Amino acid sequence: MAGPLESSGTPGGYSPAATWQAIKRIPMDHFPLILPRVHSIAAFFILRQLKHNGFSNCRVTTTKKGLIVHAHR
């Protein structure tokens, strides 16, 4: 018998689809950016993409509900 899972079907309430979208198509039009249900593993890829696109002072904060992305151009 499986243990209790969040409504997303994965432990912790993270969504694989939301995580993949954050890695592949992060919106860069306004910050701070709140990314609900995104797993913390995406933080590395998000920071890498922001730096590659000319953003500075980038940081990602992990919360229970997802990620918060801060960056400046």
The end-to-end CA distance of the chain, in Å, is 50
Of 10 and 49, the structure prediction assigns the larger pLDDT to: 49
pLDDT of residue 9: 52
Q: Which residues contact 6 (CB under 8 A, 6 or more apart)?
A: 12, 13
How far, CA to CA in Å, does 15 sit from each of 12, 18, 73? 9, 5, 29
How does residue 11 score in pLDDT terms, banded at 50, 70 and 90?
A: low
pLDDT at position 4 over 70: no
Q: Which residue has the higher pLDDT, 5 or 29?
A: 29
Residues pairing with 50 in the sheet: none
Residue-wise pLDDT tens digits, 19-68: 999 999 998 989 999 999 999 999 999 999 999 999 999 999 999 999 99
Cα separation, 44 vs 7, whole angstroms: 26
